[in-house]
Amino acid sequence: MTEVLNLLNTLQYKENSVATRTLVEKEGGSLTVYAFDKTQGLGRHASPFLTCIQLIEGKAQITIDDKTNLVSENEIVTIPANVPFALHSIHKVKAILFRLKSSSK
């Protein structure tokens, strides 16, 4: 089924919480929209997938391995498979996360 979405309106912020909506979930990867209230985030973890995080609203600190990056809306970060990362929202943040099955070939 084809669906056209406005990503900014896909999720609303929840006070002191993180809202999520998975748009695609397949063996080869997923596409999930997140709405992080101020100071919320994702704890440090590694994924077996190549992960791309694009901010569509707000600012966040994204730490990849031990390097912290300040990321703003309309910017995208790529994170190799099996590399630990964390996200901490500085302001309210809406982001889209792409997870793609990684191949060693």
pLDDT per position as a tens digit, 43-67: 999 999 999 999 999 999 999 999 9
Confidence band of 7 (pLDDT split at 50, 70, 90): confident
What's the fold here for domain 28-100?
Jelly Rolls (2.60.120)
Count Cβ neighbours within 10 Å for each residue of 67-101 and write b for 16 or more, e otherwise.
eeeebebeeebebebeeebebbbbebbbbbbbbee
For residues 55 and 38, give the distance between their C-alpha atoms in angstroms, rounded to a whole number: 14
Read off the pTM: 0.90
Q: What residue spans define the domains of the chain?
A: 28-100
Asked if residues 86 and 53 have their Cβ atoms less than 8 Å apart, the reply is no
